[in-house]
């Protein structure tokens, strides 16, 4: 690894889905290879959805608990002790806005997206899909759902 590596900071948005996204192994391998810092972004919105909550928890507490479970799952199944520098970002807001902000704030060199996150971005944004990704100020690595890393 040299000092002139182009990829120093990688942003990987993920959701509360309890399965491991297919994009995570790509991000981990790339960060291991380049020595890049991995930022795993989990966003949520404070919209009332009581279908999965006990009546004693606030919406924020429930969502933060779900995010913590996802972080632990990623840590155990993907990161382990492989020397990758990973930082989890748990933020309230629209996914696309949080991605844009973190690209600037964390000096992100590469955004890794998969089909599931793209669908969430598409649904949660008022921007037309054709212009959505063009508004981001860094390169994007796109992982189709049918691709599995070996």
> pTM higher than 0.85, yes or no?
no
Q: Quick one: pLDDT band at residue 2, thresholds 50, 70, 90?
A: very low
Q: Quick one: pLDDT band at residue 38, thresholds 50, 70, 90?
A: very high
Higher pLDDT, 77 or 49: 77
Any idea of the CA torsion for 41, 108, 96, 28, to the nearest 10 degrees?
-40
HSE of 68 in the Cβ direction (CA atoms, 13 Å)? 6
- For residue 143, the surrounding DSSP H or E stretch is strand 140-143
Nearest to 108 by CA among 28, 21, 41: 41
Residue 106 has pLDDT above 90, yes or no: yes
Higher pLDDT, 98 or 130: 98
Residue 97 has pLDDT above 90, yes or no: no
Higher pLDDT, 54 or 21: 21
């Amino acid at each position: 690894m040299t000092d002139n590596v182009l990829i120093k900071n990688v942003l990987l948005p993920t959701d509360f889905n309890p399965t491991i996204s297919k994009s995570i192994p790509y991000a981990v391998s790339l960060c291991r290879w380049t020595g890049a810092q991995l930022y795993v972004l989990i966003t949520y919105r404070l919209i009332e959805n009581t279908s999965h909550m006990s009546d004693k928890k606030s919406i924020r507490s429930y969502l933060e608990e779900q995010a913590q479970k996802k972080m632990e799952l990623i840590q155990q199944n993907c990161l382990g002790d492989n020397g990758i520098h990973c930082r989890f970002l748990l933020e309230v807001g629209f996914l696309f806005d949080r991605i844009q902000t973190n690209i600037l704030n964390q000096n992100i060199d590469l955004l890794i997206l998969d089909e599931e996150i793209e669908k969430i971005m598409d649904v949660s944004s008022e921007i037309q899909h054709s212009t959505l990704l063009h508004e981001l100020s860094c390169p994007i690595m796109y992982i189709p759902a049918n691709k599995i890393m070996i």
